[in-house]
Chain A
Amino acid sequence: MTSHDGYGDRWLDREAGPVVRPYALTKGRTLPSGEAAFGLIDVVIATNARPSELFRPGPEHRRILSLCRRPTPIVDLTSEIDLPLGVVRVLLGDLTSEGMLRVLSTQKQPVTDQRLLRMVLDGLESL
């Protein structure tokens, strides 16, 4: 592989893990359906709702639902199931479209929530 000049070799190919297989899980889709943005530290939870008859959850959908029985930040979920973030987002989009998953909190920019900032400050000082 000499064609990577100018790209740096450190995160590529085998070292970075397979991508073709994960995107096969999404049937080639690279963008999630629906409106939800799925930010890294947004929190999601499984709802226990039944999907429509047309939707057949795959093993990865079921794994996500099982990990999200409790409210779970998307970054922790992604790290846990070891799939690329983009793939996880597509799967999350499927589940929220079916009402099987819900986004509980989303992040805004800039962060001006004094209560949250105070909690972070107090938490850090207690370390």
Chain B
Amino acid sequence: MDSNPFDGTLSSAGAGTSVPSTAKILISGGFGVGKTTLVGVISEIRPLRTEEPMSDRSLAIDDTRGVSAKTTTTVAMDFGRISLPSQLVLYLFGTPGQERFWFMWDELAIGAIGAVVLADTRRVADCFASIDYFERSGMPFIIAVNCFDGAPRFQPDDIRIALSLGPEVPIVLCDARQRDSVKQVLVSLVRYVMSGSRRTNQISIG
């Protein structure tokens, strides 16, 4: 058990232990739209502590308080972890909703396959910020409309107009409480990313 296959130079790295592949997907959308429910229904939830950088804005306030002001800078968040076959781990990260945590989005976006933007038809505007962010950063995303009980049902085309989305962005209806439904959402995203990256390779957009 204790024998370690790695020597100091690591020339034999991977000889005895396979390296897991990792991938991540962002789950975004307005407050209360079901992000936590969606992540929890399909993955193991783990805690993560991170911290808010001392931005110019916070420096101006925090400077005078000295070291103790640092107590205001940790952020607790959860992430989802799904172990898949072939030593693959898929992570689901919910993007923090509050404006002051925007800095976290860039951190979370690095290396992400793509994003699911959860939408609630009763508060469509809540997901505008997410859509703007992913459009600006070039991150592929799909819209998943969480069909809450009692919420008005719309055709995907109506939702597309309401969100002023291009025809290429997939819109799927889902129930964030149902594992199979969430699975289909993630599958839709990955399929979309696969078709998109082939397109990009062909056109080679600079």
Contacts and interface: CB of A to CB of B under 8 A. Distances in A.
Interface string A91-127: 0000000010010111111111010111111111111
A17 interface: yes
B190 A117 contact: yes
B6 to A, nearest CB: 6
Contacts of B111: 39-41, 106-109, 111
A49 B89 CA distance: 28
Interface in A1-31: 4, 7-8, 11-13, 15-20, 23
Given A19-B74, A117-B190, A124-B190, A111 B112 contact: yes
Nearest to B24: A41
B194 A117 contact: yes
Contacts of A99: 8
Contact of A120 (B47, B67, B190): B190
Contacts of B10: 45, 47, 102
Interface residues of A, number: 61
Interface residues of B, number: 67
Given A20-B67, A119-B84, A86 B50 contact: yes
Interface of A: 4, 7-8, 11-13, 15-20, 23, 39-43, 45-50, 69-71, 73, 75-76, 78-79, 82-86, 99, 102, 104-112, 114, 116-127
22 contacts: A8-B100, A12-B72, A39-B110, A42-B22, A48-B7, A69-B4, A73-B20, A86-B50, A102-B10, A104-B13, A105-B19, A106-B111, A109-B110, A111-B111, A111-B193, A112-B201, A119-B23, A119-B84, A119-B88, A120-B23, A124-B190, A127-B42
